[in-house]
Amino acid sequence: MTTAIEQPATQAPAKGILVTEKALTKVRSAMAKEGISPEQGGLRLGVQGGGCSGLSYNIRFDTQPRERDRIFQFSDVRVFVDPKSFIYLNGMTLDYQETLMQQGFVFVNPQASKSCGCGTSFSA
């Protein structure tokens, strides 16, 4: 696992965001397909109101960071998080899982007090 701050790789950081190697591999591949330059663009993680538990995770690519974003560097991949979303995402881990039933990014968020069955909605 790769972390943006000095922490043991087996636990989520006390402050910040952790992205596993498996997730980084998928992000790199998808960025290349989308034509997003790692030097300028990156992965945007966010939270928005809605979903069956009150808040929903948002994940997409962005061509550049915004003025007030927190930027986390994982080798050649940058992750952008806006200040409001960081309140809910601080300490979380982004993973990528492939099973027989589904595949995709998984948010492991210790701040989520309740989450829905789809894994994209939570309440804090």
1-53 pLDDT, tens digit each: 444 433 333 344 456 999 999 999 999 999 999 999 888 899 999 998 876 66
Contact present, 96 and 106 (Cβ < 8 Å): yes
* pTM of this prediction exceeds 0.95: no
Cα–Cα nearest to 36, from 62, 60, 59, 58: 62
How far out from the chain centre does Cα 21 lie?
12
72-110 pLDDT, tens digit each: 999 999 999 999 999 999 999 999 999 888 889 988 888
47-72 pLDDT, tens digit each: 988 766 678 889 999 999 999 999 99
Burial of residue 49 (CB within 10 Å: 0-12, 13-18, 19+) is: exposed
If you count them, how many residues does the chain have? 124
pLDDT at residue 121, as a whole number: 46
Domains in the chain (CATH in brackets) are 15-116 (2.60.300.12)
